[in-house]
Each structure stands twice: as structure tokens, then as C-alpha cells.
Amino acid sequence: MEQRAREEILGRLRGIPKRAVDHRPDMPPLRERSLDHEEMIATFIEELTLEEGVVYRVRDGREAVARLTEIAAEEGLQRVMISTDEIVASLDLPAWGREQGIAVLTPWDFGDRDSFRDAVFDEVEAGITGADYAVAESGTLVIAHDTNQPRLISLAPIMHIALVPATRMVPTYEQAVEEIYGDTKDIPSHVTFTTGPSMTADIKGKPFKGMHGPRRLMVILIG
């Protein structure tokens, strides 16, 4: 039955004589393409701040952890979930957690989806992840999800803290997408673009942050 539906639909579509396709009109390149490294960073910070994301700039991993400590103190964080991507892994946050008396959970602590879901929905106050790219054009984080980067860590907790090396800064979405999808043999199952906290304006047109996703997004830009 399914094959028949497919054949009928495609049959009707194919039955129409093909028309020539005009080639795409020219478009000048986006302004962001001509930004240098520092300008990209400035643009990224400006754009994300407009969306109520908070960006901290630090020089290296050590300062990143120091900033994290400050955030944890300000926000009274006691339990966090971290991903185990290479950026987060390089900072040894489990050790940091032991020093600070903060419970640091990772997805590997859980044997199955349900126990992981219970933790990430109800038991942690923040999700800490790395990011694969930071896009200057709109202050956007690009995250490719895999076994070390579960989807819910940057979504379920009320706060999302992203650690991003400044070397990952790119001017526009195309650079990130070319690298992620370029090698068609190995594409991530899930990729997210995040630009600020979650939001809505569905009641009376009044916008506010923190609808279903995180209410707060903090980016620690390293380098």
C-alpha cells in the first residue's frame, strides 16, 4: 500500500512536462564575510547580547574555570549536567565539581534514556556544554550532537552554559554547515543552532524568555 501511494504521487508529479530552471540571480556576499577575527568576536557578542544571551570573554581554560566558579557561586548551583565533548573534557569539570562541592553529572553516569531524562529534567540546575562553532552574523552557537553531546543537556535545564574557543568563530552559517555536512559519509544525527535563551510572544504579543528551553544562556568565549 505504501509503495502504491509513493508511485501514484510521484507518477502524477513526473507526468508533467519539465520546464527549464532559471539560474540563481547574483547576490552580494554578506558583510560578515569581510570581518577580521576580533570584529567577528565583537559582532558575535553584540548579536547574542541583543537576544539576552550573556557572553564572558576569558583568555584560557584556567580563566574559563574561574569564571565558571563565579557563575556557580552567583547562581547557587549545586548540581549540574555536563557533556563530555572535547572542550568540556579538556577542563576536567568533575575535578572542579569535587573542589567546589558541586555535583557534576555526565551522561555516562546513566545506563538508559529514562534515568538520564529524570536527571536532566528534574535534578540539575544547569547544563554545561561545548559548542562546535560560534557564528558572528547572529550570535549563534552551532552544536553537532553525538554520544558525547546529548541533545537534552543544552535544552532541559533552566540554564545553559556554553564553553566556546574563540578559534571556533566563523562569519556566517555557511562555514559551519560546509564543514559539518561536507563529508556526506559521516553526518551528525542532530545539529542545533542556538541564538539566545528560549522565548515566545504568544500571549498578547508580550515577549519573554524561558518558554520550554533554557531561560538563561551564558557563553564563556575562550581565547
Nearest residue to 138 (alpha-carbon basis) of 29, 53, 26, 223: 53
> In which residue are the cell numbers 583568555 written?
59
Smaller CB distance to another protein: residue 74 or 186?
186
**Binding another protein by CB under 8 A: which of 164, 194, 216, 222?**
194
The rounded distance, in Å, linking the Cα atoms of 155 and 159 is 8
Q: Decide: is 49 part of the binding site for another protein (CB under 8 A).
A: no
Q: Decide: is 152 part of the binding site for another protein (CB under 8 A).
A: yes
Which 3 state secondary structure label does DSSP give 218? strand
User: In the range 11-40, which residues lie near another protein by CB under 8 A?
Assistant: 12-16, 18-31
Q: How many CB atoms lie within 10 A of CB 8?
A: 10
**Binding another protein by CB under 8 A: which of 79, 179, 193, 223?**
193
Q: How many CB atoms lie within 10 A of CB 12?
A: 9
Nearest residue to 162 (alpha-carbon basis) of 110, 123, 118, 217: 217
Q: Decide: is 89 part of the binding site for another protein (CB under 8 A).
A: no
User: In the range 115-134, which residues lie near another protein by CB under 8 A?
Assistant: 116-118, 121-122
Smaller CB distance to another protein: residue 70 or 146?
146
Q: How many CB atoms lie within 10 A of CB 176?
A: 22
Choices 59-67, 93-101, 126-134, 193-201; region in contact with another protein by CB under 8 A: 193-201
Q: Is-contact 131 176, C-beta < 8 A?
A: no
Q: Decide: is 183 part of the binding site for another protein (CB under 8 A).
A: no
**Binding another protein by CB under 8 A: which of 66, 73, 95, 201?**
201
Smaller CB distance to another protein: residue 54 or 100?
54
**Binding another protein by CB under 8 A: which of 97, 107, 130, 171?**
107
Strand partners, 115: none
